[in-house]
Amino acid sequence: MKSIIIVAGPTASGKTAKAIEVAQHFNTAVISADSRQCYQEISIGTAKPSVQELQTVPHYFINSHSIQEEVNAGLYEQLALNYAAEIWKDNDVAVMCGGTGLYIKAFCEGMDNMPVIPPGIRTSIQTRYEQEGMSWLQQEVQEKDPGFYANAETQNPHRLMRALEVLYATGQSINSFRTGNVVKRDFNIIKTAITLPKERLHDNIARRVHMMVAEGLLEEVRAVLPYRTHNALQTVGYKEVFDYLDGKISWDEAVEQIIIHTRQYAKRQLTWFRKDTGFKWYEGGEGLLPDVVRQLGINN
């Protein structure tokens, strides 16, 4: 049976290096499960694998789209299944690596059919969010869709804006489109995740943010200003620099906020993946590869 090894976990935990190690062992390729690294125009703020890492093993869903395109979990499900099928033509094993839990869930379990959202609705919600901030977004969802809000990630603007989009477009709660039906895949899924002690993860995050700054994060954000309402840019590392460019905060404050918000994001990622009891956790990735080799019973 064909197999996919998923290497998940929070940002800055060392997923990329571990996934490449696993892919090298099986002489296979890596499918990214990161919702932003697919965009060609944003590399620094998304912490893409380095050129050297990308050359070490083949990667899919890195630099595959333009920021002018809209990519979501439903599209990712289809793309990733196609990528896996391509890899499996020559190899029984593929590797998936990333921290976007919804994309991994879509690949493993399938996605419900969500309604098409008119672009005008999406733009108006994003504009209002930019003008009035998180408190407006939370209040709007809580008032208009209390059933969704009761169990939502209330600090995640993506999820809240998505709920509003569906509500405004259809008059129905996003919950009404979620069947909860899990698609049975015809391939073997091995779920692994990397964790680190909290202090070490926080140090990694701070070091990575300062590296992004040194590599030219400010210039990268300036270059994508025309697309600032795009979902991919309503995220940590970009929103804070937009605030700096808008004169709302100083540069030092922007950098500090990126660090704080990235730590909060990592915590949300950990919460998401820990809800899925199918994941086996490895501190620092130790023992992951031998475990996977044993499970697959492949000696190579």
Give me the CATH code for the 3-112+181-296 domain, please: 3.40.50.300
Rounded to two decimals, the pTM is 0.85
Does residue 179 carry a pLDDT above 90?
A: no
Does residue 72 carry a pLDDT above 80?
A: yes
Would you place residue 156 in the very low, low, confident or very high pLDDT band (cuts 50, 70, 90)?
confident
Q: Which of 280, 202, 276 is nearest to 13 (CA)?
A: 202
Residue 133: burial class (beta carbons within 10 Å; 0-12, 13-18, 19+): exposed
Check residue 300 and give its pLDDT.
47
pLDDT tens per residue, range 235-256: 999 999 999 999 999 999 999 9
Check residue 298 and give its pLDDT.
62
Is 284 a known ligand-binding residue?
no
Mean pLDDT of 197-201: 97
pLDDT tens per residue, range 35-44: 999 999 999 9
Selected from 3.90.1580.10, 1.10.580.10, 3.40.50.970, 1.10.20.140, the CATH number assigned to the domain covering 119-177 reads 1.10.20.140
Does residue 299 carry a pLDDT above 60?
A: no
Mean pLDDT of 127-155: 90
Higher-pLDDT residue of 29 and 69 is 29
Report whether 190 contacts 296 (CB < 8 A).
yes
Is 14 a known ligand-binding residue?
yes
Is 15 a known ligand-binding residue?
yes
Check residue 100 and give its pLDDT.
95
Check residue 152 and give its pLDDT.
83
One DSSP character per residue, 97-112 reads E-S-HHHHHHHHH---
Q: Which of 36, 22, 193, 32 is nearest to 93 (CA)?
A: 22
Would you place residue 130 in the very low, low, confident or very high pLDDT band (cuts 50, 70, 90)?
confident
Is 73 a known ligand-binding residue?
no
Mean pLDDT of 60-77: 93
Domain ranges of the chain: 3-112+181-296, 119-177
Report whether 91 contacts 24 (CB < 8 A).
no
pLDDT tens per residue, range 208-239: 999 999 999 999 999 999 998 888 898 999 99
Report whether 181 contacts 110 (CB < 8 A).
yes
pLDDT tens per residue, range 266-293: 999 999 999 999 999 999 999 999 999 9
